[in-house]
Amino acid sequence: MVKRIAILGSTGSIGKNALRVIESLGEGYEVAALSAHSRVELLAEQVRRYKPRFAAITNADFTEEFRGLVGDLDVEVLAGPEGLAEIAQLEEVDIVLTAVVGAAGLPAVLSAAKAGKTLAIANKEPFVIAGELLTQIVKKSGSVILPVDSEHSAIFQAMQAGKHDEVSKIILTSSGGPFRKMSPEEIENVTLEQALSHPVWDMGPKITIDSATMMNKALEVIEAHWLFDMPVDKIEVLVHPESIVHSLVEFVDGSMIAQLGKPDMCLPIQYALTYPARVAGIAEHLQLDELGKLTFEKPNMETFRALSLGYEVARTGGTAAVVFNAANEAAVGEFLAGRIKFVRIVELIEHCLNKHKVKRQVSLEELLEADGWARREVEQRAREHKSVRA
Ligand SMILES: NC(=O)c1ccc[n+]([C@@H]2O[C@H](COP(=O)([O-])OP(=O)(O)OC[C@H]3O[C@@H](n4cnc5c(N)ncnc54)[C@H](OP(=O)(O)O)[C@@H]3O)[C@@H](O)[C@H]2O)c1
For each of the domains in the chain, give its residue range(s) and CATH number, in order of start: 3-148 (3.40.50.720), 149-263+284-314 (no CATH), 317-390 (1.10.1740.10)
Shortest-distance Cα residue to atom 21 of ligand 1:
12
Side chain identity, residue 117: K
Please state, in angstroms and as integers, the Cα–Cα distance from residue 203 to each residue in 13, 17, 99, 101, 209, following that order. Answer: 6, 11, 12, 11, 10
What pLDDT score was predicted for residue 302? 95
Give the nearest ligand 1 atom to 84 CA. 33
Q: Are 57 and 37 in contact (CB under 8 A)?
A: yes
What pLDDT score was predicted for residue 7? 98
DSSP state of 12: S
Using CB distances shorter than 6 Å, the residues near ligand 1 are 9-15, 36-39, 58, 84, 99-101, 104, 122-125, 149, 201, 203-204, 206-207, 265
CB burial string 68-85: b at 16+ within 10 A, e below: ebbeeeebebbbebebbb
Please state, in angstroms and as integers, the Cα–Cα distance from residue 238 to each residue in 151, 174, 181, 295, following that order. Answer: 12, 6, 15, 10
What pLDDT score was predicted for residue 283? 94
The list of the chain residues with pLDDT below 50 reads 388-390
Give the nearest ligand 1 atom to 219 CA. 47
Provide CB contacts within 8 A for 132, sequence distance 6+: 226, 317
* Residue 80 CA to its chain's centroid (Å): 21
What pLDDT score was predicted for residue 385? 73
Q: 229 C-alpha to center of ligand 1: Å?
A: 25
Q: Are 270 and 283 in contact (CB under 8 A)?
A: yes
Instruction: Locate the DSSP E strands across 20-147.
Output: 29-36, 54-57, 76-79, 95-98, 118-121, 144-147
Q: 13 C-alpha to center of ligand 1: Å?
A: 7
Provide CB contacts within 8 A for 208, sequence distance 6+: 195, 196, 198, 201
Q: Which helix (H) or strand (E) holds 20?
A: helix 13-25
What pLDDT score was predicted for residue 261? 97
Q: Are 219 and 310 in contact (CB under 8 A)?
A: yes
What pLDDT score was predicted for residue 388? 46
Cis peptide before 299 (omega within 30 of 0): no
Q: 204 C-alpha to center of ligand 1: Å?
A: 6
The pTM (predicted TM-score) of the whole model is: 0.97
Q: 287 C-alpha to center of ligand 1: Å?
A: 31
Q: What's the rounded Cα separation, in Å, for the pair 167 and 161? A: 10
Q: 292 C-alpha to center of ligand 1: Å?
A: 34
Q: 389 C-alpha to center of ligand 1: Å?
A: 33
Axis-axis angle for helices 364-389, 125-141 (nearest 10): 180
Query: Ligand 1 pocket: which of 101, 111, 156 to mutate (most atoms <8 Å of CB)?
Result: 101
What pLDDT score was predicted for residue 386? 64
